[in-house]
Amino acid sequence: MTNFAILTKATARLTMGAALAAGLSAISMTAAFAQDVTLRGASMFDDNHAFTKTMRKFAELVGENYSGSVEFDLRLNGELGVEKDYVNFLQQGVAIDYTIMAPSNMAKFAPAIPLMDMPFLFRDLDHWNKVLASDAFGPLEAELEQNADIKIIGYTGGGVRNLVSSEPIANLADLAGHKMRVMGAPIQAQTFSALTAAPSAIAYNEVYNAIQSGVISGFENEAASIQNLKFYEVAPHITLTKHTITVRPIVMSGKTFRKLPEDLQAAVLKAGKEAGAFGRELESREDGLKLQEMLDAGQIQVQEFEGREKLLEMVVPVQDAFAADIEATDLLANVRGM
């Protein structure tokens, strides 16, 4: 168990000439601090992962911007389950108050939200960062809050997702029929089906054994997770499709958020936005370094995907159809035009 506490207190010097004001202030201050707040977080990873570091930063920033007392209890290494468990906990307002997760894991409550994590959505890191620093995803945030009572308070991410496989995947011919794990949102399977692969959505914690036993031949992920969970032991081949720059919302249970004092709510929203920017810079910077570390250690073999431009053409109809189905055609056009 990992506990991380930040306690902040406001103090004031009162003069003898303001006795009445002092008494009223003391009563007000006592009421403000009468109820300490503990916010419970969860990470599937250890202290070295960018998600964990981002949640530590979030706690630090809340402490800096809140004059009351708040404690953060952050559990690591999947102690509280996997992301699909986190969604249910957040929605019910039990066990977990805040975390970071993939949009696809919230799709059962908000079918439109996986659009923000759609493969080949972003042109490059500058485009990705510009979108996340804007209010472009506001309609998706509103849908999630209305349907699941989960509130997005910031955006982190930045890992570049590539194909990870037990055997080399060099081109479209190799990709045809490739049995691979994808995240649970339908758009993920639809995209890779359009690229002629054979995708299936299986639980993240089952991926290692599924590759090892031959149920699947690979999956897709960013460098930090490949390294952190040692997927290179069963899937040492990395093909640089660069199909996704990850978007990972920092989320809080709506039930938890509404219970917080207004000044703490404001501190949480400010800290979420700032922690998101911190996490995006951190993860995007670390992504290439972690890939190089595994390469230097002889843990992986890396190759480009021949004819990647063709992939970009093949997925456009899938993206357009998905956006139309979720009534997000204008949102997709807005993101593409930024």
Q: According to the model, what pLDDT value does residue 317 have?
A: 97
Pick the range with the lowest mean pLDDT from 84-88, 235-239, 268-272, 276-280. Answer: 84-88
Q: According to the model, what pLDDT value does residue 35 have?
A: 64
Gap between the Cα atoms of 23 and 15, Å rounded: 11
CB-based contact 37:69 (threshold 8 Å): yes
Q: According to the model, what pLDDT value does residue 20 have?
A: 35
Count up the domains in the chain and report the number: 1
pLDDT digits (tens, 9 = 90+) for 108-124: 889 899 999 899 999 88
Residue 21: band (very low, low, confident or very high) from pLDDT cuts 50, 70, 90: very low
Q: Give the C-alpha distances (Å, rounded to integers) separating 79 from 1, 24, 44, 249, 256.
A: 8, 45, 7, 20, 21
Average pLDDT, the chain: 89
Q: According to the model, what pLDDT value does residue 133 have?
A: 92
Overall average pLDDT of the 208-217 stretch: 97
Indicate the residue type of 187: I
Pick the range with the lowest mean pLDDT from 11-20, 84-93, 241-250. Answer: 11-20
Residue span of the structural domain in which 8 resides: 4-337
Is pLDDT above 50 for 22?
no
CATH of the domain at 136: 3.40.190.170
Q: According to the model, what pLDDT value does residue 181 have?
A: 97
Q: According to the model, what pLDDT value does residue 14 have?
A: 34
Q: According to the model, what pLDDT value does residue 199 have?
A: 97
